[in-house]
């Protein structure tokens, strides 16, 4: 009987839709690791593709039902037509929900990858600060050399806040959705602690270098005054020698 065959096809398709909804849309998902999140994205992509492939099957069932209705007595029309309409509606809703969830998870995965990228960039900058702090730990030389070290440290510290703001916003977006929250909180705590420690150390080093510059400038000034004084004395003594002045005649200079 053709009606029985059509109803069987309709029923099988309904069962597949129900199963797909239960498996991919009705379950509560928890993503605690990047692997779990990535696996969920791949699963939903496959489910979305499988649903799209079922479009051919739905079209065949639709054509078969419509062809049967065109030839069958009116009494058989209503029930089959209603079942077909329910099937088409359910199938379209499933495809729409799968597409929506797949897109959402892909955006979440992209958000996670972007967060890692910003963290990597900021940690590289923190590495540079760490190296610069080590390089300026015991700066040798005069005021000019120390000033150059201070300038290079200050240039490095003039780092825009954009990346850190992005890290904060991306992390908030993910953790608000309960996605990778423990891992993200752990990474952020580690990053923020390191950021604060290096910032504080950099401020201390800047003050230390400024004091060193001041001390070096005072030393340079004192040395310059001594050199100027010695030059005057040297010139005067040289003149005495040229004039054959005896030391006993100028006891103060002799001393």
Please indicate, yes or no, whether the overall pTM of this predicted structure exceeds 0.85. Answer: no
pLDDT tens-place string over residues 123-160: 999 999 999 999 998 887 788 888 999 999 999 999 98
User: Residue 180 to residues 26, 44, 147: CA-CA distances in angstroms?
Assistant: 20, 18, 46
Q: What is the pLDDT of residue 220?
A: 85
**Whether the Cβ atoms of residue 238 and residue 160 lie closer than 8 Å to each other:** no
- Domain annotation covers residue 220: no
User: Residue 195 to residues 72, 133, 153, 154, 209: CA-CA distances in angstroms?
Assistant: 77, 14, 15, 16, 21
| Residue 194 belongs to domain spanning | 2-212
Q: What is the pLDDT of residue 31?
A: 85
- Domain annotation covers residue 240: no
User: Residue 67 to residues 60, 80, 91, 230: CA-CA distances in angstroms?
Assistant: 10, 12, 20, 118
251 pLDDT more than 70 = no
Q: What is the pLDDT of residue 76?
A: 64
Q: What is the pLDDT of residue 77?
A: 74
Angle, vertex CA 22, rays to CA 21 and CA 28, nearest 5 = 110
- Domain annotation covers residue 246: no
Dist CA 118 CA 74 (whole Å): 66
Dist CA 55 CA 62 (whole Å): 10
- Domain annotation covers residue 7: yes
At 114, is the pLDDT very low, low, confident or very high (cuts 50, 70, 90)?
A: very high
Dist CA 36 CA 57 (whole Å): 32
What does the buried/exposed string (b/e) look like for 20-45 if buried means 16 or more CB atoms within 10 Å of the residue's CB?
A: bbeebbeeeeebeeeeebeebbeebe
255 pLDDT more than 70 = no
- Domain annotation covers residue 228: no
What does the block give as tokens for 142?
Answer: 């005069």
30 pLDDT more than 80 = no
At 62, is the pLDDT very low, low, confident or very high (cuts 50, 70, 90)?
A: very high
69 pLDDT more than 90 = no
What CATH number is associated with residue 63?
A: 1.20.58.60
Window from 58-62, 157-161, 192-196 with minimum mean pLDDT: 157-161
Q: What is the pLDDT of residue 239?
A: 84
Dist CA 193 CA 7 (whole Å): 65
> What percent of the chain stands above pLDDT 90?
62
Tell me how many domains the chain contains: 1
pLDDT tens-place string over residues 196-250: 999 999 999 999 999 988 888 888 889 889 999 999 888 888 888 888 877 777 7
- Domain annotation covers residue 223: no
- Domain annotation covers residue 123: yes
- Domain annotation covers residue 117: yes
**Whether the Cβ atoms of residue 218 and residue 143 lie closer than 8 Å to each other:** no
Q: What is the pLDDT of residue 206?
A: 93
At 1, is the pLDDT very low, low, confident or very high (cuts 50, 70, 90)?
A: low
Dist CA 86 CA 237 (whole Å): 117
């Amino acid at each position: 009987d053709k009606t029985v065959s059509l109803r069987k096809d309709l029923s099988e398709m309904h069962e597949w839709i129900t199963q797909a909804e239960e498996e991919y849309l009705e379950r509560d998902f928890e993503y605690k690791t990047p692997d779990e999140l990535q696996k969920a994205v791949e699963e939903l992509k496959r489910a979305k593709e499988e649903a799209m492939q079922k479009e051919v099957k739905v079209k065949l069932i639709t054509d078969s039902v419509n062809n049967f209705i065109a030839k069958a007595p009116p009494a058989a029309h209503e029930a089959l037509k209603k079942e077909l309409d329910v099937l088409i509606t359910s199938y379209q809703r499933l495809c729409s929900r799968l597409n929506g969830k797949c897109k959402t998870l892909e955006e979440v995965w992209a958000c996670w990858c972007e967060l890692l990228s910003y963290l990597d960039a900021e940690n590289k900058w923190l590495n540079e600060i760490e190296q610069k702090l080590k390089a300026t730990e015991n700066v040798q030389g005069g005021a000019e050399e120390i000033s150059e070290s201070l300038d290079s440290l200050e240039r490095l510290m003039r780092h825009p806040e954009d990346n850190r703001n992005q890290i904060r916003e991306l992390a908030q977006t993910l953790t608000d959705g309960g996605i990778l929250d423990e891992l993200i909180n752990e990474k952020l705590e580690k990053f923020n602690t390191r950021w604060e420690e290096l910032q504080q150390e950099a401020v201390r080093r800047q003050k230390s270098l400024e004091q060193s510059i001041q001390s070096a400038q005072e030393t340079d000034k004192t040395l310059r005054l001594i050199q100027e004084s010695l030059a005057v004395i040297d010139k005067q003594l040289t003149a005495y020698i040229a004039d054959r002045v005896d030391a006993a005649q100028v006891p103060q200079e002799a001393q």
